[in-house]
């Protein structure tokens, strides 16, 4: 029940396209859903996060869509750029400090 | 130095060696974390310190021993490791002790156990 399942494992997108990464969870106590971005040689960095009281959150080209009934959430990257090439991790947490992470998606944006 | 720094960045050790990983945060945070990142696996939380007090030991083998002398420094002491312990070890810090308190990660130490 603590797992967060992330797909796809890898994704190749052309410059200007839309990148979509999906995550699903089982634990209904989860109430915080962040996405982290990790470049090679760097640690993960918080990209965007959402709470279940909203269905969508947008920050620039990055949007989280949240479906509480389906227990799914996704990251959309609009107008994908080569500089967006990185590994993306979804995560979820309940009312404590523990983040349960997905396995990650390696995104490659071709010029 | 800014953010979260980790030393060394790369470490190769034999199974009988003893070594230590160091983490320092320059953000004035009060919580620090050790994570293990292995290929094709989710990040695994190993240890958590809140105001220098250990509040989590996530069933980590005793060959990993953390130390937090103050809220800015965190160490991970390693001894008699196994090849399966080879991974990227990440340190993180946060101001506040809830998941919604953003965790800032260091660049990690790439550990190889021969």
- pLDDT tens digits for B57-103? 778 999 999 999 998 999 999 999 999 999 999 999 999 888 888 99
- pLDDT tens digits for A41-97? 999 999 999 998 899 999 999 999 999 999 999 999 999 999 999 999 999 998 788
Q: Pick B43's closest partner by Cβ from A34, A94, A101.
A: A101
Q: Do B45 and A46 touch (CB under 8 A)?
A: no
Spatial distance between the Cα atoms of B92 and A110, rounded to a whole number of angstroms = 31
Q: Do A97 and B108 touch (CB under 8 A)?
A: no
Q: Do A32 and B100 touch (CB under 8 A)?
A: yes
**Residue A111 CB contacts under 8 Å (≥ 6 apart), including other chains:** A15, A82
Average pLDDT, chain A: 94
Q: Do B43 and A45 touch (CB under 8 A)?
A: no
- Measured between CB atoms, does B40 come within 8 Å of chain A? yes
- Measured between CB atoms, does A45 come within 8 Å of chain B? yes
Task: Give B58→chain A minimum CA distance, Å.
Answer: 11
- Measured between CB atoms, does A41 come within 8 Å of chain B? yes
- Measured between CB atoms, does B107 come within 8 Å of chain A? yes
Question: Is the bond preceding residue B46 a cis peptide, omega within 30 degrees?
Answer: no
Using a CB-CB cut-off of 8 Å, the residues of chain A touching B45 are: 98-99
Note whether B59 and B52 are within 8 A (CB).
Answer: no
Buried b (16+ CB within 10 A) or exposed e, B10-25: ebebeeeeebebbbbb
Q: Do A95 and B107 touch (CB under 8 A)?
A: no
Long-range contacts of B7-11 (CB under 8 A, 24+ apart): B7/B109, B8/B109, B9/B107, B9/B108, B9/B109, B9/B110, B10/B109, B10/B110, B10/B112, B11/B109, B11/B110, B11/B111, B11/B112
Q: Do A44 and B99 touch (CB under 8 A)?
A: no
Please choose, from the candidates A24, A39, A98, the residue with its C-alpha nearest in 3D space to the C-alpha of residue B44. A98
- pLDDT tens digits for B14-55? 888 899 999 999 999 999 999 999 988 999 999 999 877 777
By C-alpha distance, the chain B residue nearest A101 is B42
């Amino acid at each position: 029940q603590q797992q967060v399942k992330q797909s796809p494992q890898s994704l190749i997108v052309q410059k200007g396209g839309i990148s979509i990464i999906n995550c699903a969870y089982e634990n209904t106590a989860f109430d915080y859903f962040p996405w982290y971005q990790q470049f090679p040689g760097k640690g993960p960095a918080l990209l965007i996060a959402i709470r279940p009281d909203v269905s969508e959150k947008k920050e620039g080209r990055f949007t989280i869509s949240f479906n509480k009934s389906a227990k799914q959430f996704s990251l959309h990257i609009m107008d994908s750029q080569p500089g967006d090439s990185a590994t993306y991790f979804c995560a979820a947490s309940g009312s404590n400090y523990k983040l349960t992470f997905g396995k990650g998606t390696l995104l490659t944006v071709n010029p | 130095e800014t953010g979260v720094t980790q030393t060394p960045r790369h470490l190769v050790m034999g199974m009988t060696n003893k070594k230590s990983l160091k983490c320092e945060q320059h953000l004035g945070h009060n919580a620090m974390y050790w994570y293990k990142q292995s290929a094709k696996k989710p990040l695994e939380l190993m240890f958590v310190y809140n105001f220098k007090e250990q509040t989590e030991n996530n069933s980590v083998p005793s060959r990993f021993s953390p130390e937090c002398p103050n809220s800015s420094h965190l160490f991970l002491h390693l001894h008699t490791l196994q090849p399966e312990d080879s991974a990227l070890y990440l340190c993180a810090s946060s101001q506040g002790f809830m998941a919604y308190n953003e965790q800032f990660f260091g660049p990690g130490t790439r550990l190889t156990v021969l």
